[in-house]
């Protein structure tokens, strides 16, 4: 009886202390066009003047179908303090792009960058963000 009660107690503790987090949006970067074969080869460091392909994955549908992408450059060599907006773009999602968006950008200046995605539904809240470097 003690073994059974101990086993039930362990299962109860496991049930209440482990939790599954909901899916979150994310950004993947790659130096090759993103396909089913290349999606797992994500990278963070790129050469100047090359195409940086990115994939924005959203588990929840954006109701307005409009997003805003913003790229911020960290403005010094220490990658701290000093930020400036490098690029911004309004994106209209098509019917087949409700849960993802992919495109590319070319950056010709070395530095550390942060890509942020906002929704038009709530433009103050960042949906997702990711860093990358251009050498």
Q: What is the pLDDT of residue 96?
A: 83
Q: How far apart are CA 86 and CA 113, in angstroms?
A: 9
Q: What is the pLDDT of residue 6?
A: 66
The HSE-up count of residue 81 (CA atoms within 13 Å, CB side) is 1
Beta strands per DSSP E along the chain:
26-30, 45-46, 51-57, 66-74, 83-92, 100-106, 111-119, 126-134
| Domains defined for the chain, CATH in brackets | 22-134 (2.60.40.1930)
Buried b (16+ CB within 10 A) or exposed e, 108-130: eeebbbbbbbbbeeeeeeebeeb
Q: Environment class of residue 65 by beta-carbon count within 10 Å: exposed (0-12), middle (13-18) or buried (19+)? A: middle
Model's pTM, two decimal places? 0.78
CA torsion sign for 72, 73, 74, 75 is negative
Q: How confident is the model at residue 61 (pLDDT cuts 50, 70, 90)?
A: confident
Q: How confident is the model at residue 80 (pLDDT cuts 50, 70, 90)?
A: low
Beta carbons within 8 Å of 4's beta carbon, 6+ residues apart: none
pLDDT for 79 beyond 80: no
Mean pLDDT throughout 80-86?
81
Q: How confident is the model at residue 44 (pLDDT cuts 50, 70, 90)?
A: very high
């Amino acid at each position: 009886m003690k073994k059974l009660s101990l086993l039930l107690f362990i299962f109860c503790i496991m049930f209440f202390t482990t939790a599954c987090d909901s899916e979150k949006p994310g950004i993947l970067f790659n130096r090759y066009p993103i396909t089913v074969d290349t999606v797992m080869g994500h990278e963070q460091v790129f050469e100047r003047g090359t195409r940086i392909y990115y994939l924005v994955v959203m588990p929840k549908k954006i109701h307005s179908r409009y997003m805003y992408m913003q790229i911020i450059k960290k403005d010094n060599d220490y990658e701290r303090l000093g930020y400036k907006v490098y690029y911004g773009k309004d994106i209209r999602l098509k019917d087949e792009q409700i849960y993802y968006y992919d495109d590319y950008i070319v950056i010709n200046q070395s530095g550390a960058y942060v890509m942020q995605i906002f929704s038009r539904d709530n433009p103050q809240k960042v949906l997702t963000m990711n860093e990358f470097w251009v050498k």
